[in-house]
Structure 1
Amino acid sequence: MSGQAEFDRIKQATVIGIGLIGGSLALGLKERGGVTVHGYDASPETVAKAEALGIIDHGHTSLEAAVREADVVFLAVPVGVASAILTELAQLPLQDQCIISDVGSTKGDILRTAVSHPALAARFIGGHPMAGSHQSGVEAARAHLFENAYYVLTPLVDTSMDQVRRLSECLECSTGARLVIMKADHHDRVVGAISHLPHVLAAALVNQVAGYNQENEWYHRLAAGGFRDLTRVAASDPVMWRDILLSNREALLELLADWTSEMEAIQRAIQQGEGATIESFFQEAKQAREGLPERKKGVIQPSWECYVDLPDRPGGIGEVTTLLGREEISIVNIGVMQSREGRPGALRLVLADQEQWSRAKACLSQNGYSIFDPDTDPVD
């Protein structure tokens, strides 16, 4: 390695906020990137736990001490507090070539904050690793969380390409992610459409059905697998989603207006009995859905579900769980699907990750159980 390349290489990083994302980033930097990692968190307990688990090399509850020698600082905090912490960093002494980045799912607010501080304009590079987990907290951190996921960078106009290159090389080595450079407003609209808008729609649908259920409890009684799968993201953290929507308000308002137009169009078609229009509506959606990439890491995490045809006999569920337990396959959740005409009962298994999902399907198939895909063989 040349002397110039050695000088450019990121050797020390600070991660601010040591939860699932920050902890996983820290682990990747340590284990795969060979970077010394300092961690900061407002909770002394979290800092101590991260050190004990080997997720960071050095823990801090002083922000100034945590970032003093850093070559790169990552803000792995909720979008609602990221701008305030970035403003604090603007007042602190940093290394001349120190890069600051974040991991938030919206870029508009954080980039406007960076531009407003001359000390940050040449060193801030927005970032968004598009992967996560159904788990949370520092205990769930793992070095391969971002592997093969897209990692979007949104540099400022004043950010040098040399700094973008330094950060990109560090992240590619440390995370195994696929780096993409994108304008901030384009990122926010794309992520708004594929993540933020679906969360709003899922929550609205759940609230609508819950309102009907107050008058007639059969709405919830008959809400089986399809409804639960469609609205799964409505169970997300309300405070986090309040902050995300407010920080991406411009894109969301445009997207919601487009959605309203779509709903008005299908409403008119139903009202006027336009069968061809209705069929075309579903045909276009079917073709677009079939054209989507296979299960990959993204902003909405896949649910690793396995559906099993289960004969209605005593001990049937126990046989399945015992079989998987012998193979040390972890089941996160389990449920019985009953709204299925013309079929025996169905067991819905939720597995921890893709590897556990693949092993469960193979194990059950080899032992004579019939596995089906709810995307092509609906359960209700």
Structure 2
Amino acid sequence: MTKTIYIVGLGLIGSSLALGIRRDHPEYRIVGYNRGEQSRMIALEHGIVDEATDNLSQFAAEADMIFLCVPIQQTIRFLEELSNLPLKEGVLVTDAGSTKEAIVEAAETYLSARNIHFIGGHPMAGSHKTGAIAADVNLFENAYYILTPSRLTQADAIPRLKEVLSGLHARFVEIDAAEHDRVTSQISHFPHILASSLMNQAGDYRKDHPFTQHFAAGGFRDMTRIAESEPGMWTSILMTNRASIVERLAEFGERLKDIQQLIEAGDEEAIWQFFDQGRRIRKEMEIHKRAGVDSFYDLFINIPDQEDTILTILELLRGISVVNIRINEDNRADIHGILQITFKNKEDLERAERIIRDQTSYQVFVD
């Protein structure tokens, strides 16, 4: 019998989930909810969903599986609303929120009286693009898809969910909801606070030191890129993971005091060890990988400051899919720039490297 999949929230994540589900299960009926009309229309026009609504209850009773792909606080409100709707027996409900403990607790509170399966979910992938127009069937490829079981997760629920999501080509990992929130507080939530703190500090500092505005590049740019993230989403994340985030902030404050004392004491050896340890740990971590495998491939090219250099290189690479390009060290006029080109797979990287080496005299290296 054909399954009905209900995607609640047709933004980047929800629409990309729908495309991934449809890839392996074209026979499924996929319906969607979205408050805004534009994403509903785009999702319908692009075949992301078969039907769409702005009324949560419209398709709820027909769904075999419900994906809540909306902000955290709205997810919690929708869990309460679903508890009062006539859902199918054994329907599986899951979500895509960036924090898990509060959502799992809400599901157990509101849905425990019903024959409903619930699994917390967090697909660890995203983009700077938003809305259904940005939907990408490959968004989750080789990315970790975290599953946090609850008291409402019956034995067959996780296999059922994985089977429906097989077209995502993601890597599923099961973890306790509280542990998920502790880990993400360190590697996701706290870094966003740090990035915005650096920007706020620089904003104040530039009032008396205006060249701060113009010289910020390189490392500062890389460290603060995520400060451009949507404020509402991050406010919600902080409000639903307060204890872990406050703990990380306090611990980091002690680390800053330690390095401050080393600098004040002029302890050159200890400062060197501080930087060396950070460098070594970064090399050991899977920062350049998604789900433990290489997920993007970077080619670096030393280029002179000459007209049309970048256009010439891109023309040579015509026909090869490029994920991103950027120029590093572009705040110096007396040195070559470094053109960084990112590819989606190893084959494209190797082909591009051969072309640039064979047809130019530029120095090329691979990370």
**Please, what TM-score do these two structures have when normalized by structure 2?**
0.88
Give the secondary structure class of the aligned counterpart of 2:93. strand
In 1, Cα distance between equivalents of 2:71 and 2:343? 24
Alignment partner, residue 4 of structure 1: none
- Classify 1:101/1:331 alpha carbon distance in 2 versus 1 (closer, same or farther; 3 Å): closer
In 2, Cα distance between equivalents of 1:356 and 1:43? 40
Deviations 1:264-312 (A, max 9, x none): 11111111222232222112111111112262237xxx88765432223
In 2, Cα distance between equivalents of 1:285 and 1:185? 27
Does residue 264 (structure 1) correspond to residue 257 (structure 2)? The answer is yes
Deviations 1:132-186 (A, max 9, x none): 1232221221222112111111111242122223223322x13111111111110
- Classify 1:191/1:213 alpha carbon distance in 2 versus 1 (closer, same or farther; 3 Å): same
In 1, Cα distance between equivalents of 2:192 and 2:297? 19
- Given candidates 159, 162, 169, the residue that maps to 1:168 is 162
Alignment partner, residue 378 of structure 1: none
CA RMSD for the aligned pairs? 2.8
Alignment partner, residue 52 of structure 2: 59
Using the TM superposition, give the Cα deviation of residue 12 of structure 1 relative to its aligned residue in structure 2, in angstroms. 2.0
Does residue 84 (structure 1) correspond to residue 81 (structure 2)? The answer is no
Alignment partner, residue 194 of structure 2: 201
Does structure 2 retain, via aligned residues, the 8 Å contact 1:75–1:101?
yes
Give the secondary structure class of the aligned counterpart of 2:172. strand
In 2, Cα distance between equivalents of 1:183 and 1:274? 42
Q: Which amino acid aligns with 1:123?
A: H
In 2, Cα distance between equivalents of 1:285 and 1:226? 15
Does structure 1 retain, via aligned residues, the 8 Å contact 2:99–2:241?
yes
In 1, Cα distance between equivalents of 2:179 and 2:274? 27
Give the secondary structure class of the aligned counterpart of 1:116. helix
- Counting aligned pairs with the same residue, the percent is 36
Deviations 1:26-51 (A, max 9, x none): 01111123432111111233212101
Give the secondary structure class of the aligned counterpart of 2:289. coil
Does residue 277 (structure 1) correspond to residue 277 (structure 2)? The answer is no
In 1, Cα distance between equivalents of 2:348 and 2:208? 39
Alignment partner, residue 314 of structure 1: 307
Does residue 292 (structure 1) correspond to residue 252 (structure 2)? The answer is no
Matched ranges for 1:83-102 at <5 A: 83-102=76-95
Deviations 1:56-113 (A, max 9, x none): 1222222112222111100011123211122111111111010110001101221221
Structure 1 unaligned blocks of 5 or more: 1-6, 376-380
Alignment partner, residue 210 of structure 1: 203
Does residue 68 (structure 1) correspond to residue 70 (structure 2)? The answer is no
Q: Which amino acid aligns with 1:344?
A: I
Does structure 1 retain, via aligned residues, the 8 Å contact 2:93–2:118?
yes
In 2, Cα distance between equivalents of 1:116 and 1:176? 32
- Classify 1:214/1:304 alpha carbon distance in 2 versus 1 (closer, same or farther; 3 Å): farther
In 2, Cα distance between equivalents of 1:94 and 1:200? 39
- Classify 1:81/1:355 alpha carbon distance in 2 versus 1 (closer, same or farther; 3 Å): farther
In 1, Cα distance between equivalents of 2:287 and 2:101? 30
Alignment partner, residue 220 of structure 2: 227
- Given candidates 1, 11, 17, the residue that maps to 1:19 is 11
In 2, Cα distance between equivalents of 1:272 and 1:357? 50
Moved more, 205-214 or 328-337: 328-337
Does structure 2 retain, via aligned residues, the 8 Å contact 1:305–1:348?
no
- Classify 1:17/1:355 alpha carbon distance in 2 versus 1 (closer, same or farther; 3 Å): farther
Give the secondary structure class of the aligned counterpart of 2:251. helix
Matched ranges for 1:43-192 at <5 A: 43-117=36-110, 118-119=112-113, 122-171=116-165, 173-192=166-185
In 1, Cα distance between equivalents of 2:93 and 2:316? 49
Alignment partner, residue 345 of structure 1: 336
Q: Which amino acid aligns with 1:106?
A: T
How many pairs are equivalent?
361
Q: Which amino acid aligns with 1:337?
A: E
Using the TM superposition, give the Cα deviation of residue 121 of structure 1 relative to its aligned residue in structure 2, in angstroms. 8.2
Moved more, 61-70 or 101-110: 61-70
Deviations 1:10-38 (A, max 9, x none): 82211000111100100111112343211
